[in-house]
Structure 1
């Protein structure tokens, strides 16, 4: 595998100090890598000489509110590529973690020194790395998204994003949040009831939302309404 010619600054993010120490022990002796302490990270990696790319290695058990906040905070703090070391990921979370900027996923039970170094180097080069058992699950997610887009095609020509809400979806959910049923939402927006149902179905399928209440909660949490 080709490796970058410049050194890579690596920051380690783990709630468990033992997990962090384990990752540091795997990476700190690699000549192509420079493990950057968290204090230096807050100073903008200024001490790291000849660093071309920064990669954040994030160690979690599973996706929850804390890990999502961590991923978003990392992305807001600078231009870094994320390697996620996870114990487990539900199928509905696979595309979501990509939205947060994850470029590589390594299972914790497979996180050997060689696997971690390879994932960091490939992420630094802009490549996406997945464990073999995840590839089929990702393809399944993509196929379902395509089917949902085809199912919602009669509701309009606009292509929905993989993540987030379209303006029309936001309009529908805002009225649903106000307690309106399908008929009244359709009247307010001058849509047919079938169109409203298609918008909701396509959005909930795409975003893996279980029902309308879940969809409203998602829109509130993400600041759409």
Structure 2
């Protein structure tokens, strides 16, 4: 196919999905488009775009992103994520791994997915406004400790700020107002620290931080 005398080179796409049915459906629709070419697993390293389909973004999904980055031989590779649920900490990591577009799975049909692939390959980005705002806020919050230094026990300084206020009896709403974050960001910080340090809940996190002298 040509456009104004120039060859139209299809965007090469490698697809990964949480279930075979989603994988087959995505590959069928991409095969049906003259603007995309589906790659086999053996060809995945040269993909222009890696399309990931998931219900909820888990650590396994995050591993797919890392794998795509490590194995890619294409410096222009982009990742398009189609998922219903992703936490903001994981979204922040996903962007670092090459995700440029996120589509809600419940609302994205294959025409929208194809357009997102083409748009992302052309240097664009597509993401729901709520996710963009949350991502910006999370990145802004991370600047609270620009050195990224860890305190005793593996805590970050902003985590200790939140835990100190929790120990004073403040609610997540009150902490958000005091630190000028959204309540969602505060909850994400608490969730991240309890998961990373294998703590049972916020009370356990406060007690652990006090016990090791981090606060």
Which TM class, normalised by the smaller chain length? 0.5 to 0.7
Q: SS at the partner of 1:116?
A: helix
What does 1:91-110 correspond to in 2, within 5 Å? 91-110=88-107
Which residue pairs with 2:210 in the alignment?
A: none
Instruction: Quote how far apart the aligned CAs of 1:59 are.
Output: 0.7
Unmatched segments (≥5 aa) in structure 1: 46-52, 153-157, 161-165, 183-195, 218-225
Within 1, Cα distance between the matches of 2:153 and 2:10?
51
With over 3 angstroms needed to count, the CA separation of the structure-2 counterparts of 1:143 and 1:109, relative to structure 1, is closer
With over 3 angstroms needed to count, the CA separation of the structure-2 counterparts of 1:39 and 1:127, relative to structure 1, is same
Instruction: Quote how far apart the aligned CAs of 1:12 are.
Output: 0.7
Displaced runs of 4 or more, over 6 A: none
The answer on whether the counterparts of 1:8 and 1:55 sit within 8 Å (CA) in structure 2 is: yes
Which residue pairs with 1:201 in the alignment?
A: 161
What does 1:57-96 correspond to in 2, within 5 Å? 57-78=51-72, 79=74, 80-96=77-93
Cα deviation code 1:47-86 (max 9, x no counterpart): xxxxxx6101011111112111111111111132111111
Instruction: Quote how far apart the aligned CAs of 1:90 are.
Output: 3.4
Alignment of 1:37 onto 2:40: yes
Within 2, Cα distance between the matches of 1:213 and 1:56?
31
Alignment of 1:126 onto 2:123: yes
Matched pairs, number: 168
Using structure 2 for the length normalisation, give the TM-score.
Answer: 0.64
Instruction: Quote how far apart the aligned CAs of 1:145 are.
Output: 4.5
